[in-house]
Chains A and B, each alone.
Chain A
Amino acid sequence: MIWRFGLFDSTFEPLATTHWALLTALCLPLLMGLLAALFPPKRVWPVLLAGAPIVAAGVMLLLAFNDAGLLRWQWAVADIHLSLRLNGLSVLLLLTTQWIGFAAALYTPGYLRLSDPGPMARWLWPLMGTLISALSLMWLATDLLTLYVALELMGLAAVGMLLLSGKAPALKAGMRYLLLALVGSLAYLLGVALILGHWGRLDLQGLAETIEPGPVAWFAAALMGAGLALKAALFPLHAWLSPVHENAWTPVSALHAGLVIKASLFMLVLLWSILLPDAFYASRVIAWLGMLAIVWGGLLAWRTDSLKTLVASSTVAQLGYLMVIFPLLLGADVAPLPRALAWEGFWLQLMGHAFAKAAMFMAAGNLILATGESTLKGLAGTSRRLPLSLLVFGIAAITLMGLPPSAGFTAKWLLFEAMIITQQWWAVAALLVGTLLTAAYIFRMFRYSFDESAPRQRYQPLAPGMDLIALTLALAAFALGLLAHFPLELMQGGGV
């Protein structure tokens, strides 16, 4: 299992240019963010200039991986050995992060210009940069300490971004999130301490070889799992999510729902596959909670009157899909074929959802910005006046519903195959129910938008690129479905 994460020794030395690409990908977002705090960009083109080298570095890393396979960097600082590795999965997640981050950054100037954000707006940039850097670090990290640093940096940046809007409810929700995130970190840190105390090492590869199942491993896994589940808003620890998004700025929501909560989930899968290599009950528990999440999140989204709550609750439900797959990813009793299918389906679903949810938050933000209303009822008449925003919402929604030809569909296809082969019919049922529930709340929203009985007369015009950026993300989720073969090929073998 652990080899899928690329945690083994590689034979190739990275080239000099690859070192630079790595450095660029990790540090440049942070630097550019700080620069933008000093000189806040008012237009799109400076953001474009700043983002281009970061994205280029990501592409270079992809090419380097294609040439050489798994890449490893190692340093020894004093007594501690630090290392980073780049395998197929980390390349994919890195690219996803960079593209969504880039899109969110491009979206931001127009959004800030139109929404009158107040004096704190300039601090959005360094926080965004920190977030991207932290996430990139997380995909590459190979030891528990680096992972912790990345997690903490990411968490603080995320809380900071959510607090920026400065409204009273935002502060309240943000403080709650901060406290919960700190509790989550603490639980994680306790787990790390337990492992360090018992086995005396923190590098994942070494741990995977030395850890033997037993109460210590289980307890550490439980602690880390609880902490990460809290941060990932996994059901039933999701209650903080909707209020946070309700008041956050659109690009912040897009980044948060697209990437931040996925990062915690990534770590959960990574750590549990080391600590609980033949877990039976733990993964079952997660799966059952996932099923509840699908139903509960779907119902929340279906009942709500607020557009942003709808999108945020949908995240809770969609995370349920990923949780339902846990027994296939972690169980010891799974045959190689379904496990491979589930593995590919899991990450495809995760990436597709990241793109689609970011696009959907942007589309929802555009609708709210243009109509000045944040309720579903306020959408009446928008189908005539804001067709592009609605189209983006719709295309993103197709991925979430898992209808063809989107990434959600292809992922669901793979997952179904895996579940049918292993005869996990309850999981099949959960996914089917989830599809219908998603359709129910998505089309409820569209129903309001097609209502012509009370059309509004005044709309705030949007900046020209805002819809197009969101459209690009939504279409990326589409393309990921039809061309899934290429990204999934990268992951086969975990890096060789």
Chain B
Amino acid sequence: MTAAWLPITALAIALLVTVIIFALPEESRRLRTTINLLAAVVNIVLVTLMVRRVAAGYEDVFSFQVVGGVDFVLRTDALGVMFAGLSSLLWLCTTIYAIGYLEGSANRKRFFGFFSLCVASTIGIALADNLFTFLIFYEMLTLSTYPLVVHRGTEQALNAGRVYLRYTLTAGVVLLLGAVLLYSLTGDQSFSSEEGLGDYLNDHRGLLTLIFALLVGGFAVKAAMVPLHGWLPRAMVAPAPVSALLHAVAVVKAGAFGILRVVYDLYGIELSVELGVITALAVAASITIIYGSLRALAQEELKPRLAFSTISQVSYVILGIGLFGPFGTIGALAHLLHQGLMKVTLFFCAGNYAEELGIHRIDEMDGAGKRMPLTSIAFTIGALGMIGLPPVAGFITKWYLGIGAIQAEMYWVVAVLVASSTLNAMYFLPIVHRLWFRLGPSHGKGSWPDEQRLGRFETHGWLLLPMVFTALISLAAGLLAGLPFSPLDWATRVANGEYLL
């Protein structure tokens, strides 16, 4: 039995929600919230079904012909449903958070409309089975995030939006060129075909390398690899839920996911090694990791520090690919999920501090642990995870990456990992220290920049709940990594498919 309806339904529901939200009037807040949450839950159910079917060995395909030789194909494969699972889970959390965060502000209809469009694109990216389909949703993601980035409509936000578009649209053009080159060389190349591009290696070595450079270069812009990362720190002017979405799920992850697809599913890891592009990728990722951490260290505000930390952390995924061994792959894939969970937690926390206490700078955070204990605990979990301390999820990835580096005999990578962890500790631990161990306004010393009481708990319930949830999952993903359907287990499953078939 095939269930071709599954992938297309998941996508259609997200698109339908977008249409409904745009059609609803601005004032019907309750209905919009209900539809949003309902759709997010339905989506999780659908993705769960997909995961179960993939685990049972089925692959569901939906396809139709667009023009001669080019098909639109959605397929549920292990890597795809992994990304779809991440985005659908975090979609629910971020939606809940955004509803609380934007309480009473203007333009909410536009915000939630483009928000769902963003999620629809992410699902499309996850399930796309060829480069053409992937590109459709990839560009859709660019377009749907622009209104979110400029949401506040200030001069700064509009400038950030312009920079964002400059980077991403140029990258889109580069990608398109790479994709068409590949199509005119090989025809419609499915991600799930097992041949890879090996047949073309002898005659078209240079061209293949060029296409690889174009594709990976294009994706690297969204993955914010140095020196193509310039848009990311500026996009921080967007509201906190958008930052959470950009950094954890949608944009940077879509870039990293694209690189995964190119290396594993389009070229195949062996051909990539043969072409000699993999080492270049590992070096670029290492540079990004160190550079991002150094820049993060220099930031004095919370959100920019998290932003540069994202630049550094996403490149772990790329680094994992660069280790071209099973452990590196597992580390890369698991980190795709782990980083998403931890980063979304951190951004929720940053948003909560800003909303409840008006804190934007790190030196204002003294003693916040007493005033906002749950938020601070969540932040601490996220921060420890980012550094790579057990038992939080981040530890698992660093462990696997380390083993992968040693197996690949790339010892300098171990040095990069150690350096990065040290730097991570240097910019996260002072914050944790301030939160818990310094006396601040909650101890009667000074006052918060802009304190307000948003709810019965330490802050608004809508803001608190998703954050606690993601923090717990980040913890669980580390503690229970051995259980079936944990991120690590699924990453291993995908990696087995890649290496042992």
Contacts and interface: CB of A to CB of B under 8 A. Distances in A.
A11 B184 CA distance: 37
Interface stretch (B41-49, B161-169, B388-396): B161-169
A417 B183 contact: yes
A430 to B, nearest CB: 12
Contacts of A443: 146, 161-162, 165
B176 interface: yes
A446 B150 CA distance: 10
Interface string B127-138: 000001001110
Contacts of A488: 67-68
Nearest to A411: B67
A403 B173 CA distance: 9
B177 A450 contact: no
Contact of A436 (B64, B152, B169): B169
Nearest to A447: B158
Given A387-B110, A428-B177, A450-B150, A403 B139 contact: yes
Contacts of A383: 107, 110, 153
A452 interface: yes
A277 interface: no
B169 A404 contact: no
Contact of B184 (A405, A420, A485): A420
Contact of B70 (A398, A413, A436, A450): A413
Interface residues of A, number: 37
Contact of B177 (A384, A403, A416): A416
A484 B72 CA distance: 11
B170 to A, nearest CB: 6
Contacts of A405: 136, 140
A78 B137 CA distance: 60
A450 B158 contact: yes
Interface in B346-378: none
A435 B176 CA distance: 11
A124 to B, nearest CB: 32
A463 interface: no
B143 interface: yes
A397 B161 CA distance: 17
B161 A447 contact: yes
Contacts of A222: none
A447 B163 CA distance: 12
A189 to B, nearest CB: 39
Interface string A158-190: 000000000000000000000000000000000
A447 B169 contact: no
Contacts of A387: 22, 109-110
A450 B153 contact: yes
B406 interface: no
Nearest to A438: B169
A57 B70 CA distance: 32
A414 B68 CA distance: 9
Interface in A397-422: 398, 403-405, 409-410, 412-414, 416-417, 420-421
B326 to A, nearest CB: 35
A439 interface: yes
Given A410-B66, A416-B177, A439 B169 contact: yes
B106 A384 contact: yes
A481 B72 CA distance: 11
A443 B135 CA distance: 20
A404 B136 contact: yes
A196 interface: no
A194 interface: no
Nearest to B22: A391
B107 A417 contact: no
Interface string B98-118: 000000001101100000000
A193 interface: no
> On chain B, which size bracket covers the interface?
35 or more
Contacts, number: 94
B319 to A, nearest CB: 30
A482 B66 contact: yes
A344 interface: yes
B67 A398 contact: no
Given A404-B139, A488-B68, A447 B162 contact: yes
Interface string A274-300: 000000000000000000000000000
A481 B143 CA distance: 17
B37 interface: no
Contact of A432 (B72, B158, B165, B173): B173
A404 B140 CA distance: 7
Nearest to B159: A447
B181 interface: yes
B67 A420 contact: no
Nearest to B170: A436
A403 B68 contact: no
A451 B161 CA distance: 12
A405 B137 CA distance: 8
B66 A439 contact: no
B292 interface: no
Contacts of B161: 443, 447, 450
B180 interface: yes
A397 B331 CA distance: 41
A435 B173 contact: yes
Contacts of A412: 176
Nearest to A443: B165
Contacts of B173: 432, 435-436
Contacts of B139: 403-404, 409
A417 B180 contact: yes
Nearest to B109: A387
B385 interface: no
A446 B68 CA distance: 35
A394 B162 CA distance: 16
Contacts of A404: 135-137, 139-140
A153 B387 CA distance: 75
B34 interface: no
A484 B165 CA distance: 28
Contacts of A384: 106-107
A483 B71 CA distance: 10
B181 A420 contact: yes
A484 B69 CA distance: 12
B172 interface: yes
A484 B153 CA distance: 37
25 contacts: A344-B67, A383-B107, A391-B22, A394-B143, A404-B135, A404-B139, A410-B67, A413-B180, A416-B177, A417-B183, A417-B184, A421-B184, A432-B177, A436-B173, A443-B161, A447-B161, A450-B150, A450-B158, A451-B158, A453-B153, A453-B154, A482-B66, A484-B66, A485-B66, A485-B68
Interface of B: 22, 64-68, 70, 72, 106-107, 109-110, 132, 135-137, 139-140, 143, 146-147, 150, 152-155, 158, 161-162, 165, 169-170, 172-173, 176-177, 180-181, 183-184
Interface of A: 344, 383-384, 387, 391, 394, 398, 403-405, 409-410, 412-414, 416-417, 420-421, 428, 432, 435-436, 439, 443, 446-447, 450-453, 481-485, 488
Closest 3 CB pairs of A and B: A452-B153, A404-B136, A416-B180
Given A384-B106, A436-B173, A447-B150, 14 more contacts: A383-B153, A384-B107, A387-B22, A404-B135, A409-B136, A413-B132, A413-B183, A416-B176, A417-B180, A428-B177, A443-B161, A447-B158, A451-B153, A453-B153
